[in-house]
């Protein structure tokens, strides 16, 4: 089966019907990760099949949950974005969402800028900074295996808009981290994910600021 077929079938299993343009952009993004990986250590994966399941499909698994939480125009900050996961995938699937991927490593932010340029994603930008130093207001703040939940919340709480949500992608449900959350955040939903081709536990921990 071709990569395009695998991608389409995997997306369908996640409840997503990809357009030709979305499929092409996702596969082109996967190729860019592999190409840049030879020079810059963006991710540990070197195999196209692994990039498809562990990166593209893993990130696509957040699209339907995100749609349920946020179905209109929004500003999203992807923290510790690395190679742009899930931020770039969200930008490809949701052109109504303005995505900023921030990373403290300059080459990773530069890679995301390159992706935005090559794939003509006008709603995507890469930013080289530490999240603690940023200003602004975002409707969604996401991370994927970036830091513990308490660190993620404390580093970004000043950036979360009044009705904003945190979207933390995790493996197993991080009960210990949830128990240690600071008072600035509360969990309102833990969503189990099933990623096609990935024999591993995945979940999203959804958080928001407590009501006054």
Which tens digits make up the pLDDT trace of 69-117? 998 999 999 999 889 999 999 999 999 999 999 999 999 999 999 999 9
pLDDT digits (tens, 9 = 90+) for 107-147: 999 999 999 999 999 999 999 999 999 999 999 999 998 89
Q: What is the distance between the alpha carbons of residues 174 and 181, in angstroms, rounded to a whole number?
A: 11
CA atoms of 9 and 5, how far apart (whole Å): 6
The CATH class that applies to domain 3-208 reads alpha beta
| pTM for the whole structure | 0.96
């Amino acid at each position: 089966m071709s990569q395009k077929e695998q991608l389409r079938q995997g997306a369908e299993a996640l409840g997503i019907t990809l357009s030709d343009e979305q499929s092409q952009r996702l596969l082109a993004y996967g190729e860019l990760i592999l190409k840049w990986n030879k020079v810059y250590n963006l991710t540990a994966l070197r195999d196209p099949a692994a990039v498809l399941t562990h990166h593209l499909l893993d990130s696509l698994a957040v699209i339907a949950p995100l749609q349920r939480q946020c179905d209109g125009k929004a500003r999203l900050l992807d923290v510790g974005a690395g190679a742009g996961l899930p931020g770039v995938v969200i930008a490809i699937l949701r052109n109504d969402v303005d995505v900023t991927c921030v990373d403290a490593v300059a080459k990773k932010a530069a890679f995301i800028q390159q992706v935005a340029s090559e794939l003509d994603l006008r709603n995507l930008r890469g930013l080289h900074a530490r999240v603690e130093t940023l200003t602004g207001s975002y409707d969604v703040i996401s991370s994927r295996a970036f830091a513990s939940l308490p660190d993620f919340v404390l580093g970004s709480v000043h950036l979360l808009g009044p009705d904003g949500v945190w979207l933390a992608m995790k493996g197993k449900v991080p009960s210990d981290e949830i128990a240690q959350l600071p008072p600035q955040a509360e969990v309102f939903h833990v969503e189990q994910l099933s990623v096609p081709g990935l024999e591993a536990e995945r979940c999203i921990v959804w958080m928001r600021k407590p009501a006054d």
